[in-house]
Structure 1
């Protein structure tokens, strides 16, 4: 047999309305006779209470806090690991809130960098790199025709043969460079 809602509220240090709301929301169980088992209710209250909304610090260790939904666990763990924080099996509400605050700080920093003009648009950067690479390639393709006669004169050989030889080596080198892919992440 348990105690009444008002008695439990008094032992918990909250209003009876808070206990009523918790029972209606299903956060703490009621016994069959409508009373409350204090041990069960305390455990349920601890699991389902947001520690950020309590007036006092939580007395239970972080492992006993309510775990968050499965959909957000991957994102929370990744954010915590990026910051060098522990992200074990069960992610607690405190860890999720920490990850959320980290993400908000990252967004604020990105907005500030964008306003300062420090961020570069990925599409524009890709187009610029592509244009510069094309100009560089075209310059190299035209180079053998410009220097072949000069090299041939220095060596005392036929200019056409020198030009063909240089073009072959330049195209080979450009083919190697074409395998390099720029990725902007």
Structure 2
């Protein structure tokens, strides 16, 4: 054999054997009379006829033939995993598709776990929980706001019985004092904000 076989030439230029066969069919390779490939002449012809804007670059050494993943994509996956409380594997600039895929699989497993916890009732919808807490707080506040009007007359009567007939306790005055203190207490409670995060 005077030149290289298809496999040898494919390894020489870093392409697949199928790509070499296509180039051979398109007559972009120089062949010896025995059908083997003249490497130097074929390299020159391919350089003349190849549109560099459409060609794929060779894989970086040590990447296992995988293309590097953009750092922004890795950072986005890492951020999502950290938010979920998952430890993120160390990934640098030369991160490969396999590393990104591993991170993606971890994230999908976390999503499945969360979905299962929600189905079991171990997790609740945050918006629904916030609405429920707000409604409960509003109902509690309304109950306290109306409380002085309900109990003022009874409290005035009890106090009247304790202090005797000489001093009169007005129910309206009792209600006014109670409302003042209840509203002050509710105002201080309004400063408390539930933390669901």
Native 8 Å contact 2:153 2:171 kept in 1: yes
Native 8 Å contact 2:145 2:182 kept in 1: yes
Query: Would you say how many aligned residue pairs link Structure 1 and Structure 2?
Result: 154
Instruction: Rate the CA distance shift 1:86–1:103 in 2: closer, same or farther, 3 A.
Output: closer
Instruction: Rate the CA distance shift 1:69–1:161 in 2: closer, same or farther, 3 A.
Output: same
The structure 1 residue matched to 2:129, chosen from 120, 125, 128, is: 125
**How do 1:50-69 residues align onto structure 2 when only pairs under 5 Å count?**
50=66, 66-69=67-70
**How do 1:63-78 residues align onto structure 2 when only pairs under 5 Å count?**
66-78=67-79
Point out the structure with max Rg over C-alpha. Answer: 2
Could you state the TM-score of these two structures normalised by the residue count of structure 2?
0.56
Native 8 Å contact 1:148 1:160 kept in 2: yes
Distance, in Å, in 2 between the alignment partners of 1:184 and 1:136 is 19
Q: Residue 16 in 1 paired to residue 17 in 2? A: yes
Q: Residue 173 in 1 paired to residue 185 in 2? A: yes
Distance, in Å, in 1 between the alignment partners of 2:109 and 2:20 is 36
Query: Which segments of 5 or more consecutive residues in structure 1 lack a partner in the other structure?
Result: 22-29, 51-65
Could you state the TM-score of these two structures normalised by the residue count of structure 1?
0.59
Query: Which segments of 5 or more consecutive residues in structure 2 lack a partner in the other structure?
Result: 23-41, 48-56, 164-168
Return the structure number with greater helix share.
Answer: 1
